[in-house]
Amino acid sequence: MNPAVPEASLTALMHLLTEQALLSMGVPHPLVKEAPPANPVVARFYVDLLSVLKEKTEGARTDAETSQLDEILYQLRMRVMDLKPAAESQGLPKGSA
């Protein structure tokens, strides 16, 4: 196995989705100097995907995976609440998007 590529696992999938959610929130990746523009709709999509993952893996996760997923979802939900809706961030009046 290539040491640069992690083992395929539930934890790896959670981290991949978390990274995409953070990028969609405008949080820069550690290897990138410039923060990407925030896209609240896409950010919420990734948080929703993690929620679906939690629902569909109920009873099949280890205690550590459950704890980690709960913490990830909590942290992302707190961040996504701070994002302006997409219509507001694009300068459109509410209800026109």
Reported as a single tens digit per residue, the pLDDT across 6-49 is 899 999 999 999 999 999 999 988 888 888 899 999 999 999 99
pTM value is 0.79
Instruction: Locate all alpha helices (DSSP H) within 25-62, ordered by sequence.
Output: 40-56
Q: Kindly report the CA angle at 24 between 51 and 73, in degrees rounded to 5?
A: 25
Distance, in Å, from the CA atom of 68 to the CA atom of 61, rounded to the nearest integer, reads 10
